[in-house]
Copies of this chain bind each other. A is one copy, B any other.
């Protein structure tokens, strides 16, 4: 058994970017297909304000109706209220989002970083710490504030560690990181917080998604987020790729023999189904090119 764990974020970071309403039945169908492929962790939705993100207003229904067998179901939450709703809906764990960048945190969840840390402190009072993951948005830079030093990230990890939290996702929210930066940040943070668990949430906005997965793997990261078909673009980059593509990530990890338990063909079929539902060409490559191990008749 390999120790690499993929968390699918199609239902959250993928769907939330879609302007056209995706029917609840379609959401459930896609998420169930991903679960059926063997992906062990699913960030299925987000308990945010339905006014802010109307696309995810069916969060509770999605959680209640997806296939819950042998899989950890996660919901993203921005605050205490979201955490309460997610736990009521009986998710297995919550992913609380907080951006390293003040500007991004304010635009994303309308709070200062200090206010967000206060909310997280409140959440930690009524939720077991092993059920809480903290997603550190804009870890590798912010589209408003630019690139910054790892010390800025480290300081926030320090404050969250102090309240007993130790599961963090380093999120390259708008795909700014290079492999050297991932290497450097992961090395520094792992060394500063040896008891913490770090995962990576990467985007392929500038084509570096899988390069950064590889860089992170080399530094000992074993948890990676990805979204089916590579959906979930950024508002500043129309036409650019979104999250690292789930099936492309699985394909690469399979070629390197560092992932098992996932049926890649089922994911490719699910991605084609998602393409039909969304009605545009998805950025995923393996769904177009087939596997490296596929051969053709000469």
Residue A248 CB within 8 A of the other chain: yes
Residue A109 CB within 8 A of the other chain: no
Q: How far is the CA of A178 from the CA of B291 in the complex (A)?
A: 11
Please tell me if the beta carbons of A206 and B251 are within 8 angstroms of each other in the complex. Answer: yes
Residue A210 CB within 8 A of the other chain: yes
Residue A245 CB within 8 A of the other chain: yes
Q: How many copies does the complex hold?
A: 2
Residue A50 CB within 8 A of the other chain: no
Among B211, B240, B295, the residue within 8 A (CB) of A288 is B240
Please tell me if the beta carbons of A146 and B295 are within 8 angstroms of each other in the complex. Answer: yes
Please tell me if the beta carbons of A147 and B293 are within 8 angstroms of each other in the complex. Answer: yes
Q: How far is the CA of A240 from the CA of B22 in the complex (A)?
A: 26
Q: Which of A2-10, A23-31, A55-63, A230-238 participates in binding chain B?
A: A230-238
Residue A137 CB within 8 A of the other chain: no
Residue A256 CB within 8 A of the other chain: yes
Give the contacts of A183-221 with B (CB-CB under 8 A): 204-211, 213-215
Please tell me if the beta carbons of B248 and A206 are within 8 angstroms of each other in the complex. Answer: yes
Chain B residues near A143: list those with CB within 8 A. 294-296
Q: How far is the CA of A103 from the CA of B240 in the complex (A)?
A: 36
Give the contacts of A147-171 with B (CB-CB under 8 A): 147
Please tell me if the beta carbons of A208 and B238 are within 8 angstroms of each other in the complex. Answer: no
Among B146, B248, B285, B295, the residue within 8 A (CB) of A293 is B146
Residue A261 CB within 8 A of the other chain: no
Chain B residues near A175: list those with CB within 8 A. 289, 292
Q: Which residues of A contact B (CB under 8 A)?
A: 103, 106-107, 141-147, 175-181, 204-211, 213-215, 234, 236-241, 245, 248, 251-252, 255-257, 281, 284-286, 288-298
